[in-house]
Structure 1
Amino acid sequence: MTLKQQFKFWAILTAVFVAALVLLSNILLPFVLGMAVAYFLDPVADKLEEKGMGRTTATTLIVGAFILISALVIVLLVPALLDQLIGLLKRLPGYVISLYELLKPLVSQVIDIPGLKDSEEFKEIVTKQLGGAASNIGTLLSKLLDQGLAFFNVISLLVITPVVAFYLLRDWDHIVAKVDSWLPRKNLSVLRKLAKDIDDVLAGFVRGQSTVCLVLAVYYGVALLSVGLEFGLVIGIITGLISFIPFVGAIVGFIASVGVALFQFWPDFVLIGIVGGIFVVGQILEGYVLTPKLVGEKVGLHPVWVMFGLLAGGSLFGFVGVLIAVPVAAVVGVLSRFALSQYIASPVYGRDAAEIPEEDLELLDK
């Protein structure tokens, strides 16, 4: 097969894959989630196998524990989070008005803004605008529920996802071996190297960063709740869950929690300082303990690339696109680095072979 034929084959395969995503996006969610769960838990199944447990038994134990933990989280945590989120939305106009009252004397001395002189008019505007925003959020959530989480889809998520996860986790090694047997023999070593690089990136980011986010969500939620911060649980959990983008989660959580603490605890600077200190400790924990241990330093996914992938995936394919965004970004990143190494080692770049870095030579593979 010539290079042109190979390119045509892979282009057609990619087009078919994208078309399938577009056409089947409404039913793919439980299957994508099941695949994600199986991939995430495969190392645990391998460990149990090494200890002498059968693969089916290990899979049953792992999936059962996962379902139990997920059910407990939904039953115990989700209602509390919803209550706090609704309470936060209700209190948001009051926070903005209090901030306005605090900053009005300073701002009015520098800038003459219409409406600043009339506190009642400003309060009415803020209440109306934030009320409209809360209403829009509610409408958006109802649309998501109508379109993405209808009754049938809820049943699919609760029933089909665990079944898909069970079978994929049980047969994971066989599936990998089967896919390996389909690879072109001529380029087998290069393709295996690329597949290993992709798996390393995914394992480092998806498994590692997911674990980091969960740990941080528990830490921030429990710490802010123990201080007595209003809405501390929802702020802490949201902060942890968006911590896969370095500094963004911590900055958003710090601003939100310290802002709430200023209005709740003022003028108790000790409690306000404790709330700020929680995020300082969280950043130290993330930067020096969790990320080096669980993610490592060779993931190779830049935060900006991750954000672009998430936004592009969500825009093109909805929630399913968000789920597959990071894996696709990892594949594109690895393939791009491979293509760059090929270019640098080619006559087009014009560099002698002796000057090519060793890691680029390894990718060229014989």
Structure 2
Amino acid sequence: MEETGKAGKKSNIEINADKGAKQNSHPGREEWPHLIRIGVMVFVTFAVSILFFFALYRFEGFAGIWSKLLAAAMPIIMGLVLAYLMNPVMLWLERCFKKLLSKKMKSESKLRKVSRALAITGSVIILVAIISLLIAAIVPSVIASISGLMKTLPNDVAAFINMIKNGNFGDSKIAELASTGLQNATDYIENYATEKLIPEAQKYVAQITTGVISIVRGLFNFIIGIIVMVYVMSIQETLAGQSKKIIYAVCKPKTGNIIIETIRKTNEIFGGFISGKIIDSLIIGVIAYFGCLILRIPSSVLVAVIIGVTNVIPVFGPFIGAIPSLLIVVIQSPWHALYLLIFIVVLQQVDGNIIGPKILGSSTGLSTFWVMFAILIGGGMFGFLGMLLGVPTFAVIYYIVKRVVNYALRKKKLPEDTRDYTKTTGVDTKNNKLKYE
């Protein structure tokens, strides 16, 4: 009986050992339910997001509510955006004021409050100064360009007509076709003015009035946005603490840590990219201005501003800015337009290979292919804003996917380096090692 009991116990141990061996022969099998849950959660999140997007933009009821909510919240949105953009400037000014006032103020709390107040005031002054300088640079240049075009265009058209009539074309068919085309164009403009433009003048006046009202509303929202920016900057630590408090109240500590770390990385990516591109675009705008002055390009200020602003868009920005710049210059001087084209190409190469990498570095962590992918998809879906924010947004998505993939590989005890997988043919299930040819 005792031998039988011992034999029974031995057989149970052997059975358990066999089960353990089977489990060890298939590593990671017990993790599949967890990975499946993660996959289902990701799929459901994307599906709900897509349904929510179509509900907002495709159904009139939801679209109307969303438009009203967006219009009402526009001053707050503008304030949050301005606060995010000007926060690095404010923090830098705050550090400077703390150094200057630390010897005069013994109270740490008072020093912090006074430095923060002075830094916020300085940030507002810098913001208003930048906008004023841009307006002062753009508006007179635009007015001068339009007035110059209105003065020179009739003479250019008349000279073109005289060239056709009295030039080398003679009485050829080319001259006849050109004259007929000009005559048809003139007749079309006259008919359009008498039949459509004048009868619909009231409609155009209403549109102009609506545009003026929109401009006034935009100015009002901007002023309120500056006030919101001041409040957000003054209580940003409190807002950050409240956000963390809510996250840890809703989520488990481990999940909360992951969320906060992801938010911190997102802020690092967006902040580094946006501030770097603004500095880069400012440098490019200044170089473009002095380059246009040296080459005597007409409307130098306007051209430099266009090149600098569009340079915020990675890769395609210089080419997007080149189109309106060349159109402005070619009307006034075709040769100068050719000089400008060559200058823009050279400037783009200098920015892409020297200035941009020095300032931006690897703030996004994306290769050139993924940068172009993010710009094309973002621009195709959301226009200019998508082209501007597509790269940092995709960089955040790339970072999250990379973390999830590396976590899954670590759980399976597989290498995380991509180079280890470039020539692999599979995984050896016996020793859980990568196989190569």
Instruction: Give the alignment's TM-score, normalised by structure 2.
Output: 0.58
Q: 1:335 to 1:280 in 2, by over 3 A?
A: closer
CA distance in 1, matches of 2:261, 2:157: 54
Question: Structure 1 residues 294, 345: CA separation in 2 closer, same or farther (over 3 Å shift)?
Answer: same
Alpha carbons 1:204, 1:296 under 8 Å: kept: no
Q: For the residues of structure 2 that align with 1:89 and 1:186, how far apart are their CA atoms?
A: 65
1:308-319 to 2 correspondence within 5 Å? Answer: 308-313=377-382
Per-residue deviation at 1:342? 2.3
Q: Are 1:68 and 2:136 matched, yes or no?
A: no
For 1:26, the equivalent position in structure 2 comes to: 71
Match of 1:282 among 328, 343, 347: 347
Amino acid at match of 2:309: L
Q: Which structure carries more relative contact order (alpha carbon 8 Å, separation 6+)?
A: 1
1:160 is displaced (CA, Å) by: 0.4
Paired position in structure 2 for 1:318:
none
Corresponding residue for residue 200 of structure 1: 268
Distance 1:151 1:259 in 2: 30
Q: Indicate how the Cα distance of structure 1 residues 96 and 346 shifts in structure 2: closer, same or farther if over 3 A, else same.
A: farther
Which one of the candidate residues 209, 221, 242 is aligned to 2:310? 242
Matched, 1:214 2:282: yes
SS in 2 for 1:82: helix
RMSD between aligned alpha carbons?
4.8
Indicate the residue corresponding to 1:342 in structure 2.
404
In the alignment, is residue 36 of structure 1 matched against residue 81 of structure 2?
Answer: yes
**1:202: Cα distance to partner?**
0.8
Could you tell me the percent identity over the aligned residues? 17
User: Could you tell me which of 174, 183, 187 is aligned with 2:255?
Assistant: 187
- Cα 1:66–1:341 change in 2 (3 A) is closer
* Distance of 1:203 and 1:29 partners within structure 2: 22
Aligned to 1:319: none
**Residue 371 of structure 2: which of 280, 288, 302 is its match?**
302
**Distance in structure 2 (CA, Å) of the matches to 1:128 and 1:215:** 48
For the 8 Å contact 1:95–1:263, the answer to whether it is kept is no
| Distance of 2:91 and 2:388 partners within structure 1 | 24
How many Å separate the matches in 2 of 1:97 and 1:256? 25
Which residue of structure 2 lines up, in the alignment, with residue 228 of structure 1? Answer: 296
Structure-2 change in CA distance of 1:340 and 1:309 (3 Å): same
Deviates more, 1:193-202 or 1:4-13: 4-13
Distance in 2 between the 1:64 and 1:281 partners?
A: 35
Describe how 1:49-68 pairs up with structure 2 within 5 A.
Answer: 49-51=94-96, 52=98, 54-68=115-129
Q: What's the offset of the Cα at 1:223? A: 2.9
How many residues align? The count is 328
Given that residues 63 and 162 in structure 1 are in contact (C-alpha distance below 8 angstroms), is that contact kept between their aligned partners in structure 2?
A: yes
Separation in 1, partners of 2:281, 2:189? 30
Residue 140 of structure 2 is matched in structure 1 by 80
Asked if the contact 2:281/2:312 (under 8 Å) is kept, the reply is yes
Unaligned runs of 5+ in 2: 1-36, 57-61, 99-111, 164-172, 198-203, 420-437
Shift of 1:253: 4.7
Contact residue 213 and residue 241 of structure 1 kept, 8 A: yes
How has the CA–CA distance of structure 1 residues 328 and 96 changed in structure 2, closer, same or farther, with 3 Å as cutoff?
A: farther
